[in-house]
Amino acid sequence: MGWNRQYTSRYFGSKIVLFSIFAGLCFYSLATLWSVTEGISGPYNVVSSGIPKILFWKQLTWVLIGCFIAVAAYKFPLQLLEETAPILYLLMFSVLVAILLFAPEVAGAKRWFFIGPVSVQPSEFAKIVLILMLARLFSRDGNMGNKVIPVAISFIISGLFVALILNEPDLGTSLVIVAIWVMMVFWYGLSGVLLICVSTPVLSAIFSFYSENVIQQPWPWAVFILLLIGFLYFARFGLLESSLLLFSNIVTGIGASFFWDKLKLYQQERILTFFEPGRDMFGAGYQAYQSKVAIGSGGLFGTGYLNGTQKGLAFLPERETDFIFSVVGEELGFVGAMFLITMFLILIVSGLNIAKNARKPFSSMLAIGIVAFFSFHVMVNISITSGLLPVTGLPLPFMSYGGSHILVSSMMIGLLANVGSRTFED
């Protein structure tokens, strides 16, 4: 049994598994994008997909470049990344400020720099830079008795990125930054109970929003505050800690309305439609509704490759980017969707195994940050397309069309294989 566990551990940390998953996901992506750009044959003619075939060839180019980047990241010395992390962070901070000042506005957002025909989204690269910076911070201060100071510094470091990205505005990427911070802080050694307590102000804001904007009744938030008071009493925290935590929950609950007013109108409509699905079926709720129809119509084995009507007749918006999982569910059915999810699951389990067995603190923190990146993207994207979460712009790794995201994802899987090779194969 010991040999089997050791063999399994090495298997889920090997570069062969990681690069095989990488190749499989890229193949899945290209096959799905080809289908998305294909028309569908009707009774009398062929209906155009509405998406030009050039998108497939662009994605193929990005995938090939991503292969080189993954190999380069696999070979790159990790010590050099650790040493240069603060410089990379300062450079990325400057770029995020510059994009707010100088980037052209596209569809009400400032997210891209355009270099000829190529668009670059710096916030995608901010994710890997933040992971490197937090990994350096926590690995350098890992032997300190007091972990509060490094956690507080990490909160500021991450918060600066969140503030800048929210102003683009890009809510999805901001949430990814928060998820990476939470996972890395937990791995660093912050108590799970304490982490839950720190997270309660977010729940307070959600309950306050639900009370004020959805049902227009105060009792959900009031019940939450009473339950929090009961929890603090039985948890036996100190008076000062309990008072500060309760105060922060009340402040965020009251401040939720101010944050709500700062959101764009379309963001407000998406959130309200999530709580009330029938509110705007052909407006803000249209994407989520058509996505669920596409997935539901796939059944067990799907409608067949290239034969999806939701995709082919252009009922499903953003089918080449954020809602590409819906195309998989429609054409390949439950079986095809589960195969895709299984590949992601193997990737995440391998990443956790690598983080657990890494020889150096920096490598372990780097691996867990990458796991947080993939886990959050996959869970949230699939939840959105399935109607379990409000719609927000968040691509599915390796699957969704987009150069910046495929390059960052390729870099991350290369770095993950890099850490794993130094752990299992030396």
Does the residue 118 lie in any domain?
yes
pLDDT at 2 (0 to 100): 46
Helix, strand counts (H, E) of the chain = 16, 4
- Give me the mean pLDDT over the 248-277 stretch: 74
CA–CA dist 293, 283 (Å, integer) = 16
The values of phi and psi at residue 420, to 5°, are -65, -35
- Give me the mean pLDDT over the 230-250 stretch: 79
- Give me the mean pLDDT over the 262-280 stretch: 66
Bridge partners of 73, per DSSP, are none
pLDDT of 57 strictly over 60: yes
Does the residue 1 lie in any domain?
no
* Tens-place pLDDT, residues 277-298: 555 565 556 677 777 777 888 8
Number of separate domains in the chain: 1
Higher-confidence position of 245 and 75: 75
What secondary structure letter does DSSP report for 395? P
Token pair of 392, please?
């927000």
Does the residue 386 lie in any domain?
yes
CA–CA dist 23, 4 (Å, integer) = 27
pLDDT at 1 (0 to 100): 44
Token pair of 309, please?
């009507």
- Give me the mean pLDDT over the 133-147 stretch: 76
Find where tokens 């596409």 sit. Answer: 294
Determine what percent of the chain is predicted with pLDDT higher than 70.
83
Does the residue 415 lie in any domain?
yes
pLDDT at 130 (0 to 100): 96
pLDDT at 230 (0 to 100): 86
Does the residue 2 lie in any domain?
no
| Residue pair 399/29 in contact by the 8 Å Cβ criterion | yes
Does the residue 23 lie in any domain?
yes
- Give me the mean pLDDT over the 328-347 stretch: 93
Indicate the SS3 state at residue 114: strand
pLDDT of 64 strictly over 80: yes
pLDDT of 313 strictly over 70: no
- Give me the mean pLDDT over the 118-126 stretch: 88
Residue 17 lies in domain: 8-424
CA–CA dist 144, 320 (Å, integer) = 47
State the maximum Cα–Cα separation within the chain, in Å, rounded to a whole number.
75
Residues shown for the chain: 426
pLDDT at 214 (0 to 100): 72
Average pLDDT of the chain to the nearest whole number: 83
